[in-house]
Amino acid sequence: MHICVMGTGYVGLVSGACFAEFGMQVTCCDIIPEKIENLKEGILPIHEPGLQELVDKGLREGRLNFTTDQAKAIEQALTIFIAVGTPAGEDGATDMRYVDDVADTIGQYMHDYKVIATKSTVPVGTAKRIRARIEAVQPEPVEFSVVSNPEFLREGAAIEDFMRPNRVVIGGEDQHALAIMKELYSPLYLIETPFVITDTTTAEMIKYAANTFLAMKISFINEMANLCDVVDADVHDVARAIGLDQRIGRKFLHPGPGYGGSCFPKDVQSLAHFAQEAGVKLQLATAAHEVNQQQRGRMVEKITAMLDGNVAGKTIGVLGLSFKPNTDDIREAPALDIIAELQQQGAHIKAYDPVAIPAAQQVLRDVEYCKDSYSTCSGSDALVLATEWNQFRALDLKRVQALLNQPVMIDLRNVYEPETMKRLGFRYTAVGRRSRQRDSAN
Ligand SMILES: NC(=O)c1ccc[n+]([C@@H]2O[C@H](COP(=O)([O-])OP(=O)(O)OC[C@H]3O[C@@H](n4cnc5c(N)ncnc54)[C@H](O)[C@@H]3O)[C@@H](O)[C@H]2O)c1
Ligand SMILES: O=c1ccn([C@@H]2O[C@H](COP(=O)(O)OP(=O)(O)O[C@H]3O[C@H](CO)[C@@H](O)[C@H](O)[C@H]3O)[C@@H](O)[C@H]2O)c(=O)[nH]1
């Protein structure tokens, strides 16, 4: 089956490469010519484990193509996936311009029946909006189906998430389109993937409900961690113990500097915004967002407190710039806001990230970018662990201590054990970790 994917960001590239791996004939389109020229040569715009191998294979075996020729790609395909960005607009509303443009392009170049499947995260009502736009620009009326097929992949684990999803959600209004969609995902039946088949509006709603619930879990544990800090309890034990209750679950209860990335921050706000437009006030979504915003400020306070209340003139080494490990994506990365605030307060910043430095250089000025963790420590008055890349989990702590001007570490991802750090002679703080020796009963 021939499919066309509109957009070569994370979702477009991963979906395209994975559908090609499933045996489909895939054409990925973008409006940025140099991106497409690079992709034709196998040069990827993003760092995602496993993606290079899949793209190389798809190109080599002729199942994966890249083009700016949208007319031809639309003409050839039976199913067209929309995978363009839906960034936050004003007041948390979703900026729909890219989705609208794609719908117009599809309408213009469509000459026979197509299934138009939205993978972008879009506000409730978008399927109807896409239908109306296509009908308005079609040169002559041609039948088509609009389907909502939200994507749940995580950056850094995108291939695995696409190939072995917890579920596939397909929202559609007619059986013919649903049958075509099920056929596309048929390899997943072999691994007994649950399919949720529903209407388009419900499918659109599911994506926001999932992301907002996960964001709420993170904000909840961050609030618990902040309280643990004050009452000297240990949030790891709290998270583990509550998570062992299967009704709660252990995942997404890691405290830290708050969630970042291109999804949770914008999607939580977008849900609250379109709910409000529908006359419904979503207090939990709003609270999750507010807690998340405040968490970054709290991290700055933690760092400042470890430097005697004043960072002016001090050098702070920061490990990790991307919003999470295994990606070079810095969209809404907590590290960036924290660095900007520390700079505002007069600190000099040294920073290292395994892959995100080129992206960070575009937005963060006056940072001394380093070649590895140890050169970041050298001459710094404190070390901040901002993103939990694996290589930061296994630092030679004796060497770190020797290189720092003073043995101060602020671990925003709770990678190290407070007691071990204390034993090694560090002045160490984390997020919600108990700092004094445990009771003898423990
Ligand atoms: N990033 C993720 O992990 C993830 C996961 C699930 C869902 N989503 C959702 O998927 C969507 C895409 O996210 P992303 O991170 O891949 O986006 P992105 O912004 O990284 O990439 C979007 C791409 O679309 C291209 N584009 C814009 N207009 C176009 C047009 N008219 N025709 C063809 N291409 C066009 C852009 O040039 C860009 O390359 C968003 O709605 C996002 O919320 C993202
Ligand atoms: O216990 C946790 C788990 C995550 N995070 C943070 O939350 C953010 C998002 O992490 P994650 O969900 O792993 O990455 P994303 O790639 O943003 O994926 C989310 O957003 C995607 C886009 O909608 C969805 O497809 C995924 O299902 C959803 O997990 C990151 O800043 C993490 O550091 C925490 O602070 N604590």
The domain spans of the chain are 2-198, 212-429
pLDDT at 440: 36
Mean pLDDT, to the nearest integer, of 385-408?
A: 98
Segment 240-270, tens digit of pLDDT: 999 999 999 999 999 999 999 999 999 999 9
Domain 2-198 and domain 212-429 have a common topology: yes
What mean pLDDT comes out for the span 59-67?
98
Domain 212-429 classification at class level = alpha beta
Among 8, 10, 324, the mutation site with the greatest number of ligand 1 atoms within 8 A of its Cβ is 10
Percent of the chain topping pLDDT 90 = 96
Asked whether residue 436 carries a pLDDT value surpassing 80, the answer given is no
pLDDT in tens, 321-341: 999 999 999 999 999 999 999
> Tell me, what's the pLDDT at 117?
98
CA of 277 to the centre of ligand 1 (A): 25
Half-sphere exposure of 423 (CA within 13 A, CB side): 6
Confidence of residue 190 (pLDDT cuts 50, 70, 90): confident
How many Å lie between the centroid of ligand 1 and the Cα of residue 121?
9
Does ligand 1 come within 6 angstroms of the Cβ of 7? yes
Average per-residue pLDDT in the chain? 96
Using one digit for the tens of pLDDT, what is the confidence trace for 6-32? 999 999 999 999 999 999 999 999 999
439 pLDDT band, cuts 50/70/90, is: very low
pTM of the model: 0.96
Binding-site residue numbers are 30, 35, 86, 121, 152-155, 207, 252-256, 260, 266, 324, 331
Could you tell me the two tokens for 92? 């948390």
Q: Mind telling me the catalytic residues? A: 263
* Coil/strand/helix, residue 317: strand
- Quick check: CB of 333 below 6 Å from ligand 2? no
pLDDT higher than 60, residue 441: no
Which residue has tokens 């196998």?
Answer: 42
Task: Specify the CATH number of the domain 2-198.
Answer: 3.40.50.720
Residue numbering of the annotated binding site for substrate: 152-155, 207, 252-256, 260, 324
